[in-house]
Copies of this chain bind each other. A is one copy, B any other.
Amino acid sequence: MDLSKVVEFAGNNGDVFTAQLVNFLRIKSISTDPKFASNVHEAADWLVAELKRIGLTNVVANETAGHPVVTAELIGGSDRPTVLVYGHYDVQPPDPMDLWDSPPFEPDIKDGKIFARGACDDKGQVFMHLKAIESYLSTGNEVPVNVKLVIEGEEESGSEHLAAFLEANRKLLDADVVVISDTAMFGDGIPSITTGLRGLAYVQVELTGPNRDLHSGVYGGAVDNPANALARMIAALHDDNNRVTIDGFYDDVLELSEDERATFRDLPFDADEWKRSIGIEDVRTERGYNILEAITARPTLDVNGLWSGYQGDGAKTVLPATAAAKISMRIVPGQDPDTIAELARLHFVKHAPSTMKLEFHKLHGGKPVLVNTAMPAMKAAARAMHDVYNREPYFTREGGSIPVVADFKEILGLDSVLLGFGLNSDAIHSPNEHFGLDRFSQGIETIIRFMHHFGHPEDK
């Protein structure tokens, strides 16, 4: 086989691949909002058709209790290693809508980037694997590894039914390694492979005071206000060192070694540029940790949503009956999402004022991840990246969560290679999410070369 022909095919077909991606991105597959259930299904069906067209076999949109899991495979022979490609075809909600420069589901190509919800996370990235496979097949070559795909529709809403699906399909999904493109590179042109991910414990808290909204003049002064009370509770969740005050929160944290901290210091990270890119003047980290450590290797607590009372125009003089917050805790290796959610529950129960009724819900959770950098697939991935970028990739950690990585390890016994081509500036989960067409193209080439190196480790 001639690898250069495969790479050349991919290079010559960038516009075709992009046009196909545009169609994929048009589908409003917002998994967390029940209103979009049929759109999520439509995206699964679209993928099934595309995978069949490319030439994969056993292509199925597997129904679950939630959204379908799409599976497919391409088995060349039992002498080849098997790669299980994981990705997701669902996307985050697009709001706030008014901050998008172009509609989130009408992809706009501008300045060499494609703007749309899901452009990077994760439709654009999972699609690179399909195009890598297509590049082999369309040039009359066999894919040098066996490939299995598992592409779910619930990643953005907690992958609720994926673990059960993995449990029920161990044999179908049997492989040597998982490959996932759903993370970011360290910087533009700076290749990296992610070796650590944070986990997540996401909860919702609601305080209820009076049995109805009250007139703030008639009752104000003696009725504890749920919005004020919730503000007190949220404020008290951090101490003066910006450490989380929940009892036991840090007990299981695997502290960074001095070596790891030294590696963090070596990374080409420009703090001023980072602050500029998100428009902030000052950071706020846990005392004693720098920005990179704080955003990738330390646990956090953030309010993701907050609401109470009147939010419309003008001045409504209401003393609201309820106030609520969505609160997520990013957790690090050593910590367990269920344990942390339970510690949070105990904290809220203990500290809720006697004037309030408390409701607490765990919305979802995911385990943190540490990847073994010595395994063959990691070496093949590093080599492929070096081929494309002409430099060694860094091994880095990321602050985000891909809870399924822990599931693959626990349920299928598989390690994961996190081969991502996003950038932190891609605005995933934000208005104007985008993906650079150069990285789309580099990603496809890297995956082509990864398949080659992993299938032929003896080759130069």
Chain A residues near B (Cβ < 8 Å)? 32-34, 92-93, 95-96, 99, 157-158, 184, 198, 200, 202, 209-225, 227-228, 230-232, 234-238, 278-286, 289, 291, 294-296, 298-300, 302-320, 323, 325-326, 328, 330, 353-355, 363-364, 398-401, 424, 427-432
Contact = CB atoms under 8 A, between A and B. Distances in A.
A218 B428 contact: yes
A153 to B, nearest CB: 14
A215 B429 contact: yes
Most chain B beta-carbon neighbours within 10 Å: one of A32, A278, A281: A278
8 contacts: A211-B279, A211-B280, A217-B400, A220-B328, A221-B300, A235-B236, A307-B308, A315-B326
Nearest to A208: B279
A291 B399 contact: no
Contacts of A219: 278, 295, 399, 424
Contacts of A279: 210-212
Contact of A281 (B355, B401, B427, B430): B355
Chain multiplicity (copies): 2
Contacts of A309: 303-306, 326
A315 B202 contact: yes
A348 to B, nearest CB: 14
Contact of A232 (B34, B218, B235): B235
Given A313-B34, A398-B218, A283 B355 contact: yes
Given A312-B93, A398-B217, A328 B317 contact: yes
A432 B237 CA distance: 36
A299 B280 CA distance: 36
Nearest to A229: B284
B221 A330 contact: yes
Interface centre among A93, A305, A312, A432 (most CB of B within 10 A): A305
Contact of A306 (B291, B306, B326): B306
